[in-house]
Amino acid sequence: MIIRKMELRDLPQVVMIEESLFSDPWTENAFRDTLDQKEADFVVTVSEQEEIIGYCGAYRALDEAEIVNVAIRKKDQNQGVGAGMVRTLIEEEKKKGVHFFILEVRESNLSAQHCYEKLGFKSIGIRKNFYDCPRENALIMQMESIAGDE
């Protein structure tokens, strides 16, 4: 498996994963528009057979980035793919001057929360009724990169 920058040719597979996992999925056009934004970075994990296994992204503003759309095919979940992508994305954002990272995760998604905690994220609050279908709170998690930990 390799982790690389998301490309336009990846979008059909990315959208298939998105639609299989989320009740309110992004469209291909939404991903396409995001890839055109200079403050957005998205990565994919690709198998040896050139299949997209997962993807995630980050939006940058000054020295802060929000991690979004961490998604892994159901059959490949809980195997470290998400952690690898988030770690790669964080390292790329650090090179661009980012020191603070934030993300939201469903309150019930304990495996994702555990993964983010192992990466250094800490819970800092709750967004009430953030998710639909089913309606659920989001746990807000943050990580601060201190000088010298690069």
Instruction: Return the active site residues.
Output: 104, 116
Residue 140: other Cβ atoms inside 10 A: 17
Q: How far apart are CA 111 and CA 14, in angstroms?
A: 22
The encoded tokens of residue 89 equal: 């994305």
Spatial contact of 75 and 51, defined as CB atoms under 8 Å apart: no
**With b meaning 16 or more CB within 10 Å and e meaning fewer, what string describes 51-66?**
ebbbbbbbbbeeebbe
